[in-house]
Amino acid sequence: MFQQFFTPAVQHTLDLMGIFVFAISGALLAVRKNFDIFGIAMLAEVTALGGGLFRDVVIGALPPAAFTDLGYFTTPLCAALLVFFLHPHVERIQSAVNVFDAAGLGLFCVIGTTKAYTYGLGLTASAALGLATAVGGGVLRDVLANEVPSLLRWDRDLYAVPAMVGAAMVALCIRFDSLNPFTAGVAVLTAFVLRLLAMRYHWRAPRAWNRRSSGVEVDEAST
Protein backbone atom coordinates (compact mmCIF):
# COMPACT_ATOMS: atom_id res chain seq x y z
CA MET A 1 0.00 0.00 0.00
CA PHE A 2 1.66 3.13 -1.25
CA GLN A 3 -0.99 5.31 0.28
CA GLN A 4 0.39 5.22 3.75
CA PHE A 5 3.74 6.99 3.59
CA PHE A 6 2.84 8.61 6.80
CA THR A 7 1.08 7.05 9.72
CA PRO A 8 -2.67 7.08 9.07
CA ALA A 9 -3.21 9.71 11.74
CA VAL A 10 -0.63 12.05 10.25
CA GLN A 11 -2.01 11.60 6.75
CA HIS A 12 -5.56 12.17 7.91
CA THR A 13 -4.51 15.41 9.57
CA LEU A 14 -2.74 16.55 6.40
CA ASP A 15 -5.84 15.63 4.35
CA LEU A 16 -8.08 17.68 6.61
CA MET A 17 -5.72 20.66 6.44
CA GLY A 18 -5.79 20.57 2.64
CA ILE A 19 -9.57 20.23 2.63
CA PHE A 20 -9.86 23.13 5.05
CA VAL A 21 -7.83 25.60 3.00
CA PHE A 22 -9.53 24.63 -0.25
CA ALA A 23 -12.88 25.12 1.49
CA ILE A 24 -11.77 28.59 2.60
CA SER A 25 -11.08 29.56 -1.00
CA GLY A 26 -14.52 28.32 -2.06
CA ALA A 27 -16.26 30.14 0.78
CA LEU A 28 -14.45 33.39 0.02
CA LEU A 29 -15.53 33.27 -3.63
CA ALA A 30 -19.10 32.58 -2.46
CA VAL A 31 -19.02 35.67 -0.23
CA ARG A 32 -17.71 37.77 -3.10
CA LYS A 33 -20.51 36.43 -5.34
CA ASN A 34 -23.02 37.46 -2.67
CA PHE A 35 -24.30 33.91 -1.98
CA ASP A 36 -26.21 33.20 1.22
CA ILE A 37 -24.95 31.00 4.04
CA PHE A 38 -26.08 27.78 2.35
CA GLY A 39 -24.47 28.80 -0.92
CA ILE A 40 -21.27 29.50 1.00
CA ALA A 41 -21.37 26.08 2.66
CA MET A 42 -22.06 24.28 -0.62
CA LEU A 43 -19.32 26.06 -2.54
CA ALA A 44 -16.94 25.26 0.32
CA GLU A 45 -17.90 21.56 0.16
CA VAL A 46 -17.59 21.36 -3.61
CA THR A 47 -14.25 23.14 -3.71
CA ALA A 48 -12.77 21.02 -0.94
CA LEU A 49 -14.08 17.62 -1.99
CA GLY A 50 -14.68 17.93 -5.74
CA GLY A 51 -11.22 16.90 -6.89
CA GLY A 52 -11.06 13.81 -4.71
CA LEU A 53 -14.63 12.89 -5.57
CA PHE A 54 -13.83 12.97 -9.29
CA ARG A 55 -10.75 10.80 -8.72
CA ASP A 56 -12.66 8.25 -6.64
CA VAL A 57 -15.49 7.98 -9.16
CA VAL A 58 -13.01 7.47 -12.01
CA ILE A 59 -10.91 4.83 -10.27
CA GLY A 60 -14.02 3.10 -8.93
CA ALA A 61 -13.29 3.72 -5.25
CA LEU A 62 -16.97 3.80 -4.35
CA PRO A 63 -18.42 5.18 -2.18
CA PRO A 64 -15.85 7.99 -2.37
CA ALA A 65 -13.81 9.00 0.66
CA ALA A 66 -15.72 12.29 0.73
CA PHE A 67 -18.85 10.37 1.74
CA THR A 68 -17.36 7.79 4.06
CA ASP A 69 -15.25 10.01 6.32
CA LEU A 70 -17.30 12.34 8.47
CA GLY A 71 -14.29 14.61 9.01
CA TYR A 72 -14.04 15.25 5.26
CA PHE A 73 -17.66 16.36 5.26
CA THR A 74 -17.69 18.57 8.36
CA THR A 75 -14.36 20.35 7.82
CA PRO A 76 -15.67 22.45 4.89
CA LEU A 77 -18.69 23.40 7.00
CA CYS A 78 -16.37 24.75 9.70
CA ALA A 79 -14.45 26.69 7.04
CA ALA A 80 -17.74 28.08 5.70
CA LEU A 81 -18.84 29.20 9.17
CA LEU A 82 -15.47 30.84 9.79
CA VAL A 83 -15.66 32.77 6.53
CA PHE A 84 -19.31 33.64 7.13
CA PHE A 85 -18.57 35.35 10.43
CA LEU A 86 -15.03 36.58 9.91
CA HIS A 87 -14.63 37.06 6.19
CA PRO A 88 -13.17 40.59 6.32
CA HIS A 89 -10.44 39.19 8.55
CA VAL A 90 -9.96 36.13 6.36
CA GLU A 91 -9.65 38.31 3.28
CA ARG A 92 -7.11 40.49 5.05
CA ILE A 93 -4.95 37.42 5.60
CA GLN A 94 -5.46 36.34 1.98
CA SER A 95 -1.73 35.82 1.57
CA ALA A 96 -1.76 33.34 4.45
CA VAL A 97 -4.69 31.57 2.80
CA ASN A 98 -2.69 31.42 -0.42
CA VAL A 99 0.20 29.76 1.36
CA PHE A 100 -2.13 27.14 2.83
CA ASP A 101 -3.78 26.65 -0.55
CA ALA A 102 -0.34 26.01 -2.05
CA ALA A 103 0.26 23.43 0.67
CA GLY A 104 -3.06 21.78 -0.14
CA LEU A 105 -2.13 21.74 -3.81
CA GLY A 106 1.15 19.96 -3.11
CA LEU A 107 -0.44 17.50 -0.75
CA PHE A 108 -3.40 16.59 -2.94
CA CYS A 109 -1.39 16.02 -6.13
CA VAL A 110 0.80 13.53 -4.28
CA ILE A 111 -2.06 11.78 -2.45
CA GLY A 112 -4.15 11.64 -5.64
CA THR A 113 -1.37 10.12 -7.71
CA THR A 114 -0.59 7.39 -5.20
CA LYS A 115 -4.23 6.53 -4.58
CA ALA A 116 -4.88 6.18 -8.34
CA TYR A 117 -1.82 3.95 -8.70
CA THR A 118 -2.98 1.84 -5.78
CA TYR A 119 -6.22 1.22 -7.69
CA GLY A 120 -4.32 -0.19 -10.64
CA LEU A 121 -3.98 2.72 -13.04
CA GLY A 122 -0.87 3.29 -15.12
CA LEU A 123 1.76 5.84 -14.18
CA THR A 124 0.69 8.53 -16.65
CA ALA A 125 -2.99 8.10 -15.79
CA SER A 126 -2.13 8.18 -12.08
CA ALA A 127 -0.24 11.44 -12.48
CA ALA A 128 -3.14 12.89 -14.50
CA LEU A 129 -5.56 11.93 -11.73
CA GLY A 130 -3.20 13.39 -9.13
CA LEU A 131 -3.37 16.67 -11.04
CA ALA A 132 -7.16 16.35 -11.29
CA THR A 133 -7.40 15.74 -7.52
CA ALA A 134 -5.42 18.90 -6.85
CA VAL A 135 -7.13 21.26 -9.27
CA GLY A 136 -10.58 19.69 -9.79
CA GLY A 137 -12.24 21.31 -6.80
CA GLY A 138 -11.18 24.78 -7.89
CA VAL A 139 -12.52 24.19 -11.41
CA LEU A 140 -15.89 23.04 -10.06
CA ARG A 141 -15.94 26.07 -7.72
CA ASP A 142 -15.50 28.46 -10.65
CA VAL A 143 -18.02 26.64 -12.87
CA LEU A 144 -20.68 26.78 -10.14
CA ALA A 145 -19.91 30.46 -9.56
CA ASN A 146 -20.39 30.96 -13.31
CA GLU A 147 -16.85 32.20 -13.94
CA VAL A 148 -14.15 31.07 -16.33
CA PRO A 149 -12.02 28.65 -14.26
CA SER A 150 -9.05 30.64 -13.00
CA LEU A 151 -6.99 27.51 -13.72
CA LEU A 152 -7.47 28.08 -17.46
CA ARG A 153 -6.93 31.84 -17.56
CA TRP A 154 -3.63 33.13 -18.86
CA ASP A 155 -3.64 36.13 -16.51
CA ARG A 156 -3.26 34.06 -13.36
CA ASP A 157 -0.02 32.82 -11.83
CA LEU A 158 0.90 29.23 -12.63
CA TYR A 159 -1.26 26.81 -10.68
CA ALA A 160 -1.44 23.58 -12.65
CA VAL A 161 2.29 23.32 -13.33
CA PRO A 162 3.40 22.91 -9.70
CA ALA A 163 0.79 20.16 -9.27
CA MET A 164 1.94 18.52 -12.51
CA VAL A 165 5.55 18.53 -11.31
CA GLY A 166 4.58 17.04 -7.96
CA ALA A 167 2.45 14.34 -9.56
CA ALA A 168 5.18 13.53 -12.10
CA MET A 169 7.76 13.22 -9.34
CA VAL A 170 5.59 10.68 -7.54
CA ALA A 171 5.05 8.73 -10.77
CA LEU A 172 8.82 8.65 -11.36
CA CYS A 173 9.44 7.52 -7.79
CA ILE A 174 6.94 4.67 -8.25
CA ARG A 175 8.56 3.79 -11.58
CA PHE A 176 11.97 3.48 -9.92
CA ASP A 177 10.54 1.80 -6.87
CA SER A 178 11.68 4.53 -4.54
CA LEU A 179 8.46 5.97 -3.20
CA ASN A 180 8.70 6.38 0.53
CA PRO A 181 7.70 8.99 3.09
CA PHE A 182 10.85 10.98 2.35
CA THR A 183 10.54 11.13 -1.45
CA ALA A 184 6.80 11.74 -1.16
CA GLY A 185 7.53 14.61 1.20
CA VAL A 186 10.04 16.02 -1.28
CA ALA A 187 7.36 15.93 -4.02
CA VAL A 188 4.84 17.71 -1.79
CA LEU A 189 7.46 20.32 -0.90
CA THR A 190 8.52 20.85 -4.54
CA ALA A 191 4.94 21.51 -5.68
CA PHE A 192 4.40 23.76 -2.66
CA VAL A 193 7.54 25.84 -3.24
CA LEU A 194 6.96 26.09 -6.99
CA ARG A 195 3.48 27.47 -6.36
CA LEU A 196 4.82 29.97 -3.83
CA LEU A 197 7.48 31.11 -6.31
CA ALA A 198 4.90 31.36 -9.09
CA MET A 199 2.81 33.65 -6.88
CA ARG A 200 5.82 35.66 -5.70
CA TYR A 201 7.25 36.31 -9.18
CA HIS A 202 3.97 36.17 -11.12
CA TRP A 203 5.07 33.34 -13.36
CA ARG A 204 2.72 32.88 -16.25
CA ALA A 205 2.45 30.45 -19.13
CA PRO A 206 2.58 31.60 -22.74
CA ARG A 207 -0.52 32.00 -24.85
CA ALA A 208 -0.80 30.82 -28.43
CA TRP A 209 1.77 32.12 -30.89
CA ASN A 210 1.15 34.71 -33.56
CA ARG A 211 -1.86 36.12 -31.81
CA ARG A 212 -2.93 39.42 -33.25
CA SER A 213 -5.88 41.60 -32.33
CA SER A 214 -6.44 39.48 -29.25
CA GLY A 215 -8.69 42.08 -27.65
CA VAL A 216 -11.18 41.82 -30.46
CA GLU A 217 -11.26 38.06 -30.38
CA VAL A 218 -11.80 38.00 -26.65
CA ASP A 219 -14.68 40.41 -26.96
CA GLU A 220 -16.15 38.29 -29.65
CA ALA A 221 -15.74 35.14 -27.60
CA SER A 222 -17.36 36.66 -24.53
CA THR A 223 -20.47 37.83 -26.28
Can you tell me which of 6, 78, 119, 186 binds a second copy, judged by CB under 8 A? 119
Total of chain residues touching a second copy, rule CB under 8 A: 66
Query: Residue 204 in contact with residue 171, Cβ under 8 Å?
Result: no
- Quick note: the x/- pattern for a second copy over 171-210, rule CB under 8 A, is ---------------------------------xxxxxxx
Taking CB under 8 A as the rule, does residue 121 contact a second copy?
yes
- In whole angstroms, what separates CA 148 from the centre of its chain? 16
Residue 138: name the closest of 49, 10, 5, 13 by CA.
49
Nearest approach, Cβ of residue 130 and a second copy (Å)? 12
- 14 or 131: whose CB is closer to a second copy? 131
Q: Which long-range contacts (CB under 8 A, 24 or more apart) does 88-97 make?
A: 90/24, 90/28, 91/28, 94/28, 97/21, 97/24, 97/25, 97/28
d(CA 84, CA 87): 6
Give the separation between CA 128 and CA 116, rounded to whole angstroms: 9
Is 53 one of the binding residues for a second copy (CB under 8 A)? yes
> Residue 94 CB: number of other CB atoms within 10 A?
13
Q: Which CB sits closer to a second copy, 23 or 43?
A: 43
Name the DSSP class of 137.
H
Q: Which of residues 130-169 bind a second copy (CB under 8 A)?
A: 139, 143-149, 151-154, 160-161
Smallest distance, a second copy to C-beta of residue 25, A: 14
Q: Cα angle at 27 between 26 and 32, to 5 degrees?
A: 100
Cβ at position 36, least distance to a second copy in Å: 4
Decide whether 127 or 188 has the Cβ nearer to a second copy. 127
The site map against a second copy for 82-101 (x = CB under 8 A) is: -xxx-xx-------------
Q: State phi, psi for 81 to the nearest 5 degrees.
A: -60, -45
- Our CB check for a second copy shows the closer of 153 and 175 to be 153
CA atoms of 52 and 30, how far apart (whole Å): 21
What is the CB neighbour count within 10 angstroms for residue 18?
26
Applying CB under 8 A, which residues contact a second copy?
29-40, 42-43, 53, 57-60, 62-64, 67-68, 70, 73, 83-85, 87-88, 119-122, 124-125, 128-129, 139, 143-149, 151-154, 160-161, 204-211, 214, 217-218, 220-221
